[in-house]
Structures are given as structure tokens and as C-alpha cells.
Chain A
């Protein structure tokens, strides 16, 4: 299985290459990708140089253009697609059907991957995208079990990529409106979930209070590991009981499931984290690279140290190993 690694800056890109990435995914410095954070991402020149560097080492570069085009401003996304193709991107990761149609018509030889943001999670949806736009790979949302994935891969004529480590989105991706509800901005349209412009932190006698827009997301007691200020991982008072209504502050780790995912027909494992620093990229990519080559007994040890770098300093296998409770 290929290891698909994140890069938010050229420095992180180089770290991913050094650590053994099979492919690096990244985006332009604008709202055409779902990690449109201040100071993050690549200028045209930076991306061109990074692709050349990667090709020199036989590593692929995937460019994420995975937000949905805003009516009237389609030119921004079309231009990004034109530039990405011209630069020699090995694949474009797209979510918007209109943009898929544009690239498929203009650049029929360009390899297309379906972004997780398209939320394509059943055989009918994926078959439609294969037939209509010739997509070669689909990145599945993090809401399926390993058994679901195995059933799906048998019914589609398309490679499957799944998230293996990093930030855990538990929603129907590309459809989630929680961030929009609280801030007016979303990963789907603006490229930002819980945008930093709406985030505030304050200390109250050792307690860390995180706020998003007008909402208090969490209160972390002294010494308690913290998480991102997203509504889906907020601690709320529901029916008189305080707790996590959707999901705890926790990151995804399905390294224990590598063999099952391989048997399920998965072609590539993706590491989330374009917004993370180069130190994180180096550490996670090298650990997962070694884990892929290691036996089951060694894997847990190899990745256990990554837990402290994770949200809430905890990891979960999420929906991949969903059980009744």
C-alpha cells in the first residue's frame, strides 16, 4: 500500500520525502483547498519546485483542489486546475463535480482522485464518478468500518485510499455545516473548519477555555490534554449530563488494521495533517513507513509514541472498528 503524506509548507514537503513518502499531497495558498490557513500552503513557484524535487526521487505529488466552487468565482478553481496540470501534478484531488467535469474535458489524461470532501461512500456514487469523469481513486470518508470498505472495493472499478492516522473528522465530509453554523465559514466553501479568526482561548485559574464564535467549546481542567476547538468535539451539557455529544478530542490511528485494510483491497493509506508542523510530518511519516514494513507485534510499539502528538493525546480506530455500546 502507498503512504500518502501531508505537506503544508515546502519544508514539510521535504521532510515527507526524507521520511519515505510514496506521495505527498498539498495545496495552493488560497481557498481552493480545505486547509486554507494563514501562512500555510504553496505559491505556484514553491509547488513547481516541490514537484520537481519529488519527481527526482520518484515520489508523486497530489494537489488538493477540494473545496466547492463558489458560484460566479469558478475562475479561481479553473485556474488552479490549469496550473496544477501544467506543473505536472501526478493527481488532482477534487470534490466538486463541476471541477471534475472541467478537468476531465480539458485534460483527459490527467489522473483524478475523489477527495474525502465529496463524501462518496457507496458503490453507486463511486461508479457514477468513475463513469462520468474517469476518476482513478476515491478517498473514503472516515465513517465506514473495515468490513464496509471490503464490501465496497469489490463493487467498484477504482482504487481506494483511506485515512490511517491524524485528525479525525466524524461527519459526512463535505456536507458538515457545524463550522458554518458557528462562524459562517466551512471547510467545504472557505477551506477552513473552525477558522482561527473565530477562535479564542483564555486561562481561568489553570482551566483552559476554548471558544468558537459565540460558543464555548470546552473547558480543559488543569493538566488535562486539550483538543481543537471544533463543535464536533465540544463538551456540552446535554439533558443535564456534561460530555462529548459527538466525539471526544481524539485522533485517528488504524495502524492495527493495516493487514485487514490490505486484505480489503485498499491501495493507499493517507496521513492527515497539512496544518501540522514539519516536525510532526517527519515523525509520523517515518513511524508509519516503518510500521508498514513491520510485523503486527512491532507496529503498536512503533506508533504508540505518536499518541502524545495527537489531539487530546489519545487515538482511536473510530468507525473502522465500530461496535455497539
Chain B
């Protein structure tokens, strides 16, 4: 199972929440702006409160797409209508449609609780959106955009290759 390298995971534990939240909100609003079709496919489930819990980070990301709100917390998972937990690399892989959610569920790499209709709607909406996180990250980095995009692509390739290796 691909895990975030300790070199990246450790510093995140000490980052102030406001900083993580600010970066995550930037990516979140950038994704929503660039992929309006995501809202349309989500339908009524855009009102749902989703929680994403990367198992290799001590963080929870709570999102309500319709309100375009995102909050980050540590400790116990916050209340949400639907929650998904798994390694960050796989959660990001799902966000980009690079991994198949059912396969990760069968292998027990992911766990889901709460409103399964809402979770399915989100999975399908994301899967149809050609989200490219390195590009979204790069867009936030101003003059450092090419550098950030390149670095993010390198990390993604490395982490998903680890997953591919376990398949072969």
C-alpha cells in the first residue's frame, strides 16, 4: 500500500492547521472552478458533508461542495454525512480518477462509512472530471508554477508506481 514518504508526512504533522487549510482551500476552489461538470453530476449530493481522512496523516478534511467550504482538523474525525479513509496517495488517486474505488475497497485499502449514495455520487462525479492535481497546485504557486507542477507530478508517479508494483 503506497504511503506518504516520512520526509513529507512528518512536517505536515507540525504545520499549523490554518496553513494546511489555506492550501487545501486554494486547491479545492481551483478544482471546483475548473470542473463545473462535477457539480452537475453530483446533483443533490453537492449539499452533502464529506470527510476525507488520510490514514498516513493525522488530518481530516471536511468538505461541503455546495457551500464551497473546507475545514481541516486533527484528532477524532469530525461529524460528516459520509467519510472515506485511506492512504493519502490513494485518496488523491481517486480524486484524479487514476485508481478504481471498488478495487481499493475490495483490497481493504479504503474504508467508507455513512451515506453510500452520496459517496457513490462523489466517486462518479470525480471519476468523470479530468482533475490534474499537480496542475492545480502549480496554478497556486505563481512564478514557481513549473517547479511545483513538476515536483508534484514526480511524487505522484512515484507513489502510484508503488501501487502498480503491488498489482504485478
The interface of chain A, by Cβ under 8 A from chain B, is 8-12, 37-40, 195-197, 199-203, 208, 220, 223-227, 275-280, 283, 305, 308-313
Q: Number of residue pairs across A and B with beta carbons under 8 Å? A: 105
User: Which of B99, B120, B128, B129 has most chain A Cβ within 10 Å?
Assistant: B128
CB pair B116 A309 closer than 8 Å: no
CB pair B128 A279 closer than 8 Å: no
CB distance from B89 to the nearest CB of A (A): 14
Beyond the given A201-B116, A280-B100, could you list 8 further A-B residue pairs with CB under 8 A, ordered by the A residue number? A37-B120, A39-B122, A201-B113, A226-B108, A277-B123, A280-B102, A280-B103, A309-B100
28 intermolecular pairs with C-beta atoms under 8 Å apart:
A8-B124, A9-B41, A11-B127, A11-B130, A39-B45, A39-B123, A40-B124, A196-B119, A201-B112, A203-B111, A203-B113, A220-B108, A224-B108, A277-B94, A277-B101, A277-B102, A279-B99, A280-B100, A283-B100, A305-B167, A308-B103, A308-B106, A308-B166, A309-B103, A309-B106, A309-B167, A313-B106, A313-B107
CB pair A38 B127 closer than 8 Å: no
Residue B158 is within 8 A (CB to CB) of chain A in the complex = no
The interface of chain B, by Cβ under 8 A from chain A, is 41-43, 45, 94, 97-103, 105-108, 111-113, 116-125, 127-130, 166-168
Minimum-distance CB pairs A-B, first 5: A39-B124, A39-B121, A38-B121, A9-B128, A280-B100
Per a CB cutoff under 8 Å, which of A39, A275, A276, A305 touches B41? A39
CB pair B106 A225 closer than 8 Å: yes
CB distance from A211 to the nearest CB of B (A): 10
A37 to B121 alpha-carbon distance, docked (Å): 8
CB pair B42 A39 closer than 8 Å: yes
CB pair A227 B120 closer than 8 Å: no
A201 to B106 alpha-carbon distance, docked (Å): 13
CB distance from A214 to the nearest CB of B (A): 16
Could you say which residues of chain B place their CB within 8 Å of the CB of A39? 41-43, 45, 120-125
CB pair B45 A38 closer than 8 Å: yes
A202 to B83 alpha-carbon distance, docked (Å): 11
User: Which of B98, B99, B167 has most chain A Cβ within 10 Å?
Assistant: B167
Given the interface contacts A37-B120, A225-B106, A311-B106, does A278 sit within 8 Å of B113 by beta carbon? no
CB pair A226 B105 closer than 8 Å: yes
Could you say which residues of chain B place their CB within 8 Å of the CB of A311? 102, 106
Given the interface contacts A38-B45, A39-B43, does A277 sit within 8 Å of B106 by beta carbon? no
Given the interface contacts A38-B118, A201-B112, does A227 sit within 8 Å of B106 by beta carbon? yes
Could you say which residues of chain B place their CB within 8 Å of the CB of A208? 108, 111
